[in-house]
Structure 1
Amino acid sequence: MTTYASTHPAGSTPDRPVPRSEPDPATALLARLARLRERVARLVELRGADDPTAADPLRGLYLSEEAVRHVLGSSPRHHGLDEGAWSPSHDASAPDRAARLAVRLGLGELETELLLIALAPDLDRDFEPLYAYLNDDVSRRRATTGLALDLCGIPAHRPESRALLQPTASLSALGLVEVEEPERPFLSRSLRVPDRIVAHLLGDDTPDAALSGRVRPLAAPHGPYDEEFTRRLADRLAAGPLTVHLREHREGDGLTWAAAALAAAGLDALHYTPAVAAPGPDTGPGSVPGPEPFAALLREARLRGLALVVSPLPAAAGPLIRALAVDDVPVLFTGTGPYDPQWCDRDPLVLDAPRLPAGAADVWAAALGDAATGAAFDLAATVAPYRLGADRVTRAARAALDLAAFDGTPLTGTHVRLAARRQSASGLERHARRIRPDVGWEDLVLPERPRAQLGELALRARHRDRVLGDWRLSAGGGRGRGVLGLFAGESGTGKTLSAEVVAAELGLDLYVVQLSSVVDKYVGETEKNLERIFTEADRTDAVLLFDEADSVFGKRSEVKDAHDRYANMESAYLLQRLESFDGIAVLTTNLRANIDEAFTRRLDLVIDFPFPDAEQRLALWRHALGRVPCADGTDAGVCARDFELAGGSIRSAVVTAAYAAAGRGEPVTTADLLEGARREYRKAGRLVPGEGGW
């Protein structure tokens, strides 16, 4: 295996467009070829001096009797240049790309010269007929292994000479030279330099076509991230090539740490995304739809002196890690799964990536630039709920600025929130219904106590990283930093609306879990469905709502049969999963007494939603009628006084009244409101005031 060496100072970028003071790559290569042409001419002269067929215009197309007698009459000997006739063909004082590549990859002078010999026909067409003459075959216009050794003046019968062009040798193993036609005798096999190598040596750093859409430059993140962790990892990377496995707590976090450490080490990098198929009925997690271009990827990193960051890792990452864990290229793998020792014979440096802090206002400010400096909103409070890596922050900032430009207004918190939500793409929609919050605190009609508790829930969601992380108030190892609330109250008292208001306050989407897609009659399937939901919620900036939660989070019962035992196992799973939950979840129930006490202990807040009294009912009626045209003298007070309805029912009564008025083409009247209220009473099977019966 070759050793790694760098020819550029720390912090610089190798093989960027060559400054004017350095030789042009193409000019430098042509100068090398001119010196090679001189050696070819000497070999042509040497071969023609004792070959009676040298002047035959059909030489190479047939074997004449004279040529056969010449071959039979000659004694076995070396037909190349004299040993020692070859000398390095470049000026070390002005290294060109070929020389720098040789140093970086640890190639010797002889290996570099063999590369140049194989490369010559791709740069100068005159070498094709010359090589055809020396190969004694007009159809073989590339250098063969035998011809290359002859031009270097080294005997082809020596093992060390032949070893230079074996598949395990540096030239072949590094993808610099391909030895073709393995069915031919060794000395007759053609040498070819891949087009990507030719392009690089000529100054073109466009990645190989096999990597199109799969790699991109890894930009340094804005702002510092855990300077101690970054510094220690950067020191190890700067000391020499290193393979690292970063296990991230949340998908995308490891990419930020890798970028920060590589930037601190002065190393440029490529981010490679494996071609992992999305899990489906016919593809398991981690399945790969086609062969990965590992050889092209490593060759690209070696050519340009770059590190590789592979993210995200598929579940079955063994073949990928075995292929890319090499000694001469720094490679950082990031993924949410643990490292498996069976993946690689030599274990990489396995590290747990620190959690990314929520908010990171300084990172957002750097990404937004001048737009954040004069912003008329509190940037820190706006971005506090979002746990985005530096790469996604940069993309979200760009999207926010584009939205502001489209609206023709200065940047606002609404633009930032919308852009940040879009960077938190979620798979929750397979199991939950997404609600884009369109309400605010002014839409809530609640007593002071539950209203204040809702504000506290939003406060906890914003500052959980500081309190539970920085101040180390988490309950213990393995505990998550999730925020859990239980909303308890009768139907229609505003529980779901309150969850939507909290989500709007945080600038997050609300996902209502469809319990029909969760509960399964088969043993263990309900837990699997819940695990998918919790896992997706952990990696998504959103508020998760379990409506009618007592159907899932109900009390455990005494085990009398198998059904009880499996029901209790489901509850036990949920208790354990809530401990490690990192998201924001709200549970609602009409029957608080049905919730297991063990779940209650794990909740941050339990908010009781009381049934509204007459004063609150009047406020609810007036709020529901806010934009509805009403006739003069319309009085909602009589409805609030005579009909004990919750907020949801009041809204339904107003909708009924509005349809009746719209059908007449008139404003809503008190009679319409009373009829709507009576409809709600009848729906609930209650006695309607004034009707004297059911």
Structure 2
Amino acid sequence: MASATKIQNVESPPVCPAPRELVGVVAELHGALRGLDCLLSSALDAFDASLGSASQEKYRGLYIAPEQVNLLLNRQPGQPSFVIDRASGLALWPPTEGSFARRMADSYGLSGFELDVLLIALAPEYDLRYERLYAYLQDDVTRKRPTVDLILALLCPSGIERMQHRPVFSADAPLVRQGIVHLVADPQQTDPPLLARYVKPDEQIVHHLLGDTGLDSRLAPFVRPSAGEASLADLHVADETRAHLIRVAEVMAEGRLHVWLHGPAGIGKRQAAAAVARHAGYALLTIDVTGIAADEIGPTVTLAMRQAWLRGAILCLGGIHGWLDSPIATEAVAALLTESPCHIIFASEREMPSALRQHVADVHLPLPDAALRATCWQSALGELGRKADERRLATLANLFRLTPGQIEAAAAEAVRQARLHAKQRDGIGALPFASMDDCIAAARGQSAGRLDGLAGKIDSRATWSDIVLPDDALSQLHELCQRVEHRGKVLDEWGFAERSVRGQGCSVLFAGPSGTGKTMAAEVIANDLGLDLYCIDLAGVVSKYIGETEKNLDRIFSAAESANAILFFDEADALFGKRSEVKDSHDRYANLEISYLLQKMERYEGVTILATNLRQNLDEAFMRRLAFIVHFPFPDEEQRRRIWSGVWPAGVPLAEDIDPGVLAGQLKFSGGHIRNVALAAAFLAAGDGQPVGQAHVLRAAQRELQKIGKSLTPGEQPSRATA
């Protein structure tokens, strides 16, 4: 976040704020046109004199008489058709203090000559008599608009001055580059020379001068709805951020600032822009350039800047980040900023390109902390006429790192679901309290889909009653859930977050043999917390190409931040093993990949679960970064009995010879293998049309042992079976 000192030192051109109402513009224009009338009167006299007797031709302007041909041949090259005895540099539209001409000159860097060009081009838009006058002077009844040649003839007493002022109509001159006037070709001519092109003022300037202050029709498709009349005090932001926005608004009131306002989607960038504009004394015009063709964005932004300037507003540009992926486009924006007549606030989800740093102040809107998120929930539900328990709101705020916009949408969805459930239950309207389950489901809906394509989502149905572990391991899992639930209180309210930006998430290691419940434990935690669980496919993450593994990891962790998900790396020893001794460049790069992963884990604010069968493969530097290390031992006989007792669904018919204690004592399987055996035995029993019996379990156990390279001897009884 930029400091106040840095903001005040940002280099940008002086901005002349537009007045709230156009006072005296008509009178100013009348005065300038009276000067133009005098000039045209002199021009008409000079023009008639130059034609002599040919000026009386009945059909002059419709054809070229022989006398006119001789006049044209006798004229010096570059000499206009008429010469006015006029003092050089005499302005038709002088930029007096406080005038519209002065504002144009100051904001767009126009000279007095360029203002006169604009006036001559504007005249037919105000009074059609100028069309006939221009047609007469151009000796063509079809030429009702002033051409470059006519304007130079009117304003330049000599051929030398014509050559000096001709660059005013070049593509890089302010009038044309800023789209204030357009050089239009006659439809009857193919690629006419510059002198033959008509000079037409932009319709935006015309409408404004004629009193039409409505929105330019060319901008209408891109204008976003108003962000409301929120003040800076109403924003759901931290006090530090609010103070920074106040400083930004105060500097903007002085007219020397453009701002890059960035933060995640739904953070409230447009609301913040509107509040800043209001505090600085401006209106806000919000344009979203998403969907505009790349070659049209520059002209559209130029048009939007002038619209904001004419309205006395700050321009808020959204959807700009996609366009700025191109370095050429970034340079184009930098060029636009140096000439912008208005303040610009860029609203983006990305950080500011470095090429713009000398022109724009950087302002970051961070994700609100847990306390602010709870306030957002309370406010959103309150606006919908619903209540929620403060403790529940705190839990929601801790579990889901949502933006204010996402919270508002989630609250609305939760209320809709509450109404539906209440209606289904007893036919009445919604209850005054929003259900916690409805709020959690709605919050999860705001995060859904962010990791799709990067990781596989696990449907978490397991509960605490489904998992069998030693007491200490279970205690650690409960402590893990408590850590997530009370994260906001400890880190934000109690101040631990201020001590370090690292370690604010929860990285956990599940270590133990295959089938001991590591995946089930991850499901239990996700189900208990109400968070989505995603399993990371390591085969899709690790790449042999330099830099690709880091890119894959960055995509996963970035998506996970907004997905509010638990990341589960199964068989993680493949990626998180001991960093090898550096023997060649490949070893060195592999170690860099692991170091990069450790950094991403430390900065990730959610839960990361690593499951490994080989705890000894993890080095000390890695272990230090873990909040919990939970050991999943091979279950003892009592634990196996409990697993066998709970493995059968209520609808499974069991024979009398099924004894969990006997099975636990004789079949030394882990929990995962026990579940496989139980399922296989159920299928065998269903095929026999019988309840599940000991014989079915024995046959299923034999198949399970075959998978791990062991077998039961023929005729061996379950009481003697060993795994």
- TM-score under structure 1 normalisation? 0.76
1:423, distance to aligned residue in structure 2 (A): 4.0
Is it true that 1:60 corresponds to 2:61 in the alignment? Answer: yes
Separation of aligned partners in 2, 1:526 and 1:76: 74
Contact 2:398 2:487 in 1 (8 A): no
**Is residue 235 of structure 2 the alignment partner of residue 232 of structure 1?**
no
CA contact (8 A) 1:256 1:390 kept: no
SS at match of 1:552: helix
Q: Is the 8 A contact 1:4 1:240 kept in 2?
A: yes
Evaluate the alpha carbon distance shift between residue 4 and residue 530 of structure 1 in structure 2; reply closer, same or farther with a 3 A threshold: closer
- Aligned partners of 2:655 and 2:598: how far apart in 1? 56
1:512 aligned residue: 535
Alpha-carbon contact 1:310-1:331 (below 8 Å) kept? no
2:176 pairs with 1:172: yes
Cα distance change on mapping 1:397 and 1:346 into 2, 3 Å: same
- Structure 1 191/692 Cα, relative in aligned 2: closer, same or farther at 3 Å? closer
Question: Per-residue deviation at 1:467?
Answer: 3.8
- CA apart distance, 1:177: 1.3
In 1, the alpha carbon distance for the partners of 2:410 and 2:197 equals 54
Q: Is the 8 A contact 1:33 1:120 kept in 2?
A: no
Report the equivalent of 1:643: 667
Aligned with 1:306 (options 311, 314, 317): 314
Q: Percent identity?
A: 34
> Contact 1:512–1:546 (CA<8 Å) still a contact in 2?
yes
The answer to whether the 8 A contact 2:16-2:342 is kept is: no
- Cα deviation, 1:634-676, whole Å, max 9, x if unaligned, reads 8553444543433322332332233234445666556555654
What's the secondary structure of 1:690's corresponding residue? Answer: helix
CA distance in 2, matches of 1:593, 1:320: 52
2:245 aligned partner, one-letter code: T
Tell whether the 8 Å contact from 2:277 to 2:314 is kept in structure 1 after alignment. Answer: no
CA distance in 2 between partners of 1:595 and 1:361 (Å): 38
Deviation of 1:692 (Å) = 6.2
Aligned equivalent of 1:6: 17
The 5 A counterparts of 1:270-669 are 270=286, 272=288, 290-291=294-295, 293-304=297-308, 305-310=313-318, 313=321, 316=325, 318-325=327-334, 326-327=337-338, 328-333=341-346, 334=348, 336=350, 339-340=353-354, 343-344=355-356, 346-350=358-362, 354=366, 356-358=368-370, 360-371=373-384, 373-375=386-388, 378-397=392-411, 410=430, 412-424=435-447, 428-464=451-487, 467-468=490-491, 471-473=494-496, 479=502, 481-521=504-544, 525-558=548-581, 567-630=590-653, 635=658, 637-638=660-661, 639-663=663-687, 668=692
Quick check: 1:78 aligned with 2:94? no
Q: Is the 8 A contact 2:673 2:704 kept in 1?
A: yes
Deviation at 1:567, TM superposition (A): 4.8
Provide the residue aligned with 2:426 in structure 1. Answer: none
Distance 1:271 1:240 in 2: 21
Q: SS in structure 2 opposite 1:175?
A: coil
CA contact (8 A) 1:101 1:303 kept: no
Distance 1:537 1:351 in 2: 24
2-structure distance, mates of 1:408, 1:113:
72
**C-alpha separation in 2, matches of 1:490 and 1:483:** 23
TM-score after normalising by structure 2: 0.73
117-126 vs 166-175, greater mean Cα deviation = 117-126
Amino acid at match of 2:215: D
After superposition, the C-alpha distances for 1:147-199 in whole angstroms (9 at most, x for unaligned) are: 55788x88687589778666555443432212345986765431123456566
Relative to structure 1, the CA distance from residue 425 to residue 6 in structure 2 (aligned partners, 3 Å threshold; closer, same or farther) is farther
Q: How many residues align?
A: 659
2:5 counterpart residue number:
none
How far off its partner does 1:678 sit?
5.2
- Unaligned residue ranges in structure 1 (runs of 5+): 16-21, 277-288
The CA deviation at 1:323 is 2.4
CA-to-aligned-CA distance 1:580-639 (integer Å, 9 cap, x gap): 444431101123222222211100111223444455444434544334343585855344
- 2:146, 2:613 → 1: CA distance? 83
Aligned CA distance change for structure 1 residues 68 and 683 (closer, same or farther; 3 Å): closer
Partner of 1:690: 719
User: Residues 574 and 669 (structure 1 numbering): CA distance in 2 closer, same or farther, change over 3 Å?
Assistant: same
SS in structure 1 of the partner of residue 576 of structure 2: coil
Aligned mates of 2:439, 2:158 — CA distance in 1: 68
> What displacement does 1:265 show?
3.8
* Structure 1 CA distance for aligned equivalents of residues 465 and 127 of structure 2: 78
Q: Is the 8 A contact 1:490 1:610 kept in 2?
A: yes
Give runs of aligned pairs for residues 184-263 of structure 1, distance below 5 A: 188-194=196-202, 202-205=212-215, 208=218, 212=221, 222-225=235-238, 226-245=241-260, 255=269, 259=273, 261-262=276-277
| Cα distance change of structure 1 residues 692 and 608 upon mapping to structure 2, 3 Å threshold | closer
What RMSD in Å do the two structures reach over aligned CA positions?
5.1
- Whether contact under 8 Å (1:488, 1:591) holds in the other structure is yes
2-structure distance, mates of 1:105, 1:563: 57
1:145 and 1:413, CA in 2 relative to 1: closer, same or farther beyond 3 A? farther
Secondary structure of the residue that 1:303 maps to in structure 2?
helix
Report if aligned partners of 2:260, 2:363 keep a CA contact under 8 Å in 1: yes
The secondary structure found in structure 1 opposite 2:384 is helix
**3-state DSSP class of the match of 1:140?**
coil
CA contact under 8 A between 2:509 and 2:626: conserved in structure 1? yes
Partner of 2:6: none
Pairwise mapping of residues 100-139 of structure 1 onto structure 2 (< 5 A)? 115=118, 117-119=120-122, 131-139=134-142
Q: Report Cα offsets for 1:210-247 as digits up to 9, x if no partner.
A: x9569776666852343222222332233324233467
Q: What residue number does 1:144 align with? A: 147
**Structure 2 unaligned spans of 5+:** 1-11, 424-429
